[in-house]
Amino acid sequence: MITLTEDLGAQTDLFMEGIQIVMSNFKERLTMNEMADAFLATGYDMVHHVAQHSMPGASPERVAESVMEHNEFIMAKMKEDVWESQE
């Protein structure tokens, strides 16, 4: 499985600053939902690409399973480190 650094919250905050810049430049061309879907799809594809390269010889099913495990890990970390701290 792909690993993350411990400070996901700080990384997320910094990345979101960049996202805000991009979103402000595209707000006339894409809705907020379209931008969110595009960011998620791009992120999932990036994780899949990294998994393929980090697991040479793994079956497509195993790569997809690893991606799902990693995505579940990210969601759990976001819930724990970011979303719950904002309440």
Q: Count structural domains, the chain.
A: 1
CA dihedral 37, 43, 48, 51 (to 10 degrees): -160
User: At 2, is the pLDDT very low, low, confident or very high (cuts 50, 70, 90)?
Assistant: very low
Question: pTM to 2 decimals?
Answer: 0.65
Report yes or no on 35 lying in a domain: yes
Report yes or no on 21 lying in a domain: yes
Distance CA 33, CA 36 (A): 5
For residue 16, the model assigns a pLDDT of: 83
Report yes or no on 2 lying in a domain: no
User: At 50, is the pLDDT very low, low, confident or very high (cuts 50, 70, 90)?
Assistant: very high
User: At 48, is the pLDDT very low, low, confident or very high (cuts 50, 70, 90)?
Assistant: very high
Report yes or no on 3 lying in a domain: no
Structure tokens at 44: 């999932």
Domain span at residue 26? 8-86
